[in-house]
Amino acid sequence: MLSSTSLSIISLWILSSLSSTVAFSIVLLDRFSLCLNIPWAKIAFFPAIWASSWQLISHASPVGHLVTWSPVTGIASYEWVRPLFGAWGINWLVGAYAIVVAELVGAWFIGPVEDFEPPGPLIPSVVSDADPQPLTSKPAFPKTTYHSLLLGTALLGLTLPSFFLPTVPTFPWSVSSTPLPIGCVLPHPSQPDDGITPLDRFIVESRQHNGARLLLWPEGALRFENTAQRESAINRVKDEIKGPIVGVTFTEPVPPSAGWTHSRDGAWRNGLVLVGPNGLIAEFYKRNLVPIAESFSLTESKEKPELYEIELHGSKSHKKWTPAPPYDRTISLTAAICLDFSSPSIFTSLKSRPTVILAPARTWHRDVSIAMWEQARARAEEAGSMVLFCDGGAEGASGVAGHGIREPVQFGSGSWTRTVGVAWPFNQNRTLHMWGGDALPFGFVWLLLGAGWATQALILRRTLGESGGVTGSFLRLRELVDKIKGIIRRPAPSVEGEQRPLLL
């Protein structure tokens, strides 16, 4: 819940300042690439440390990717990378583009480098009749510029899959899809002294959308003082809302029966429960708390998100609710709450791909809501799923994202439902990002640097001999050290008589 304006601004300002410092440090760290003798290593070093550093920061920061320099918008041509490498791939592309632009602009601004041939002796030989050769130069661009052009060409080539992969949502009414009506319950603000409790308002609003299969309340819709109040509310939702599965959100004191040994005495927790016609189905609790605004009053959950299967059946009045049999189908659900979506690996522990991800939220500003919406959409794309995002803030965004859907349904209060199409049969295989986690893209990023370095070093060694490439660098360094040692140890020669030079 990002509802405290002043504390949230202070927290985000501090974290943004730290992230800017980190970005500047990464740029300075790239100076080590100047010591590398391989052109490919020089241009591949920065993308590797850029991607690795931001991924490390996203794990260490309490707000994850929210204040990092990892883009979530303006990269439509590379969205296909997310299910494969997640934020790793996007950050590597950003670093690669930075190198290409820097190298090309630098080459254009500085111009070609003049490579002078070694000059002749200072005093021409008196026995030679040949005229001294004039100094010549061969203007040329640095080798890294040509490698940057090659890298830039490859980056443009990586946009080609976006022209062929499907980018439109699945049609709901098709023999190869399942129509799934889902929505957000967002009542309008209550009037002072109207005597209606929050639970009553949400139940009345939910009953107006009984045709939906899945309804979600915004983060922190209810507040329970004890377990008895929670059980009473769940029973009322089960008995009074017929048809849809309802995601009920709340805050409550951590009960002793929860077994949260890390919880402080008197601390509260932020949770979500799924309630169906037969009662409680699943529970989820918030893992990432907003620094200062929530971290003092709430306790984070240590449990990873789990996957729950929900069976969908036809009703008496609508038995054939799909265009083709079977009329009993199963979808899988999981959930995370607001700031949890800033974590880069929130869903990598799941054993299969979720059909729908529930995302209740409550933010205090439209821009913050949009930022959280984009983070939730990014996590859904990485998991190959779609997310139902419901923000209860005054200007909060709400909608469905993923599978070609990018824009929110609305901003602000007002309940709604939308029928989305889910591919049938649904592909439950995990995406490459879910399967490999952080280890796979980390190895790929640095293997790309190391393999290119080794290959080019081998080519240079065969082309230039032992004096070229990596081996040549070490040989030249050793020769320089030997010369310095010789100068230090060698005594000055004595000069006598005719051995004295004519020119001083």
Give Cα separations from 42 to 37, 106, 148, 455, 472 (angstroms). Answer: 8, 14, 10, 14, 17
Whether 204 shows a pLDDT value over 90: the answer reads: yes
pLDDT in the model for residue 116 = 46
Within 10 angstroms of residue 492's Cβ, the number of other Cβ atoms is 5
Q: Can you spell out the DSSP letters for 45-80?
A: HHHHHHHHHHHHHHHHSTTGGGGSS---SS-GGGGG
pLDDT > 90: percent of the chain: 46
**For residues 164-189, average pLDDT:** 90
Amino acid letter, residue 293: A
Q: Which two tokens stand for residue 87?
A: 């934020």
- Rg of the chain over all Cα atoms, to the nearest angstrom: 32
Indicate the pLDDT class of residue 469, thresholds 50, 70 and 90. very low
Stretch 112-117: mean pLDDT: 51
Cis bond upstream, residue 360 (ω within 30)? no
Say if residue 199's pLDDT is above 60: yes
pLDDT at 479: 58
Give the per-residue pLDDT at 478.
Answer: 55
pTM: 0.82
pLDDT greater than 70 at residue 487: no
pLDDT at 145: 67
Residue 230 banded pLDDT, cuts 50, 70, 90: very high
pLDDT of 393 > 50? The answer is yes
- Residue 135 is predicted with a pLDDT of 47
Question: In the predicted model, is pLDDT for residue 23 greater than 60?
Answer: yes
Predicted confidence (pLDDT) at residue 84 exceeds the cutoff of 90? yes
pLDDT single digits (tens) 35-78: 666 777 778 888 999 999 999 888 888 888 887 888 998 898 99
pLDDT at 149 over 90: no
Separation between Cα atoms, residue 176 and residue 497, nearest integer Å = 104
DSSP state of 323: S
Using one digit for the tens of pLDDT, what is the confidence trace for 266-297?
789 999 999 998 899 999 999 998 887 787 88
Q: Which of 123-132, 189-198, 300-309, 408-417 has the lowest mean pLDDT?
A: 123-132
pLDDT at 477 > cutoff 90:
no
CA 205 to chain centre: 35
Question: Are the C-beta atoms of 110 and 69 separated by less than 8 Å?
Answer: no
- Model confidence at 449, in pLDDT bands (50, 70, 90)? confident
For residue 330, the Cα-to-chain-centroid distance in whole angstroms is 29
Q: Output the CA angle 452-156-98, nearest 5 degrees.
A: 65
User: Alpha-carbon distance 459 to 454, whole Å?
Assistant: 9
Written as one letter, the residue type at 71 is P
Q: Count of H helices and E strands in the chain?
A: 11, 15
Cα(338)–Cα(81) distance, integer angstroms: 24
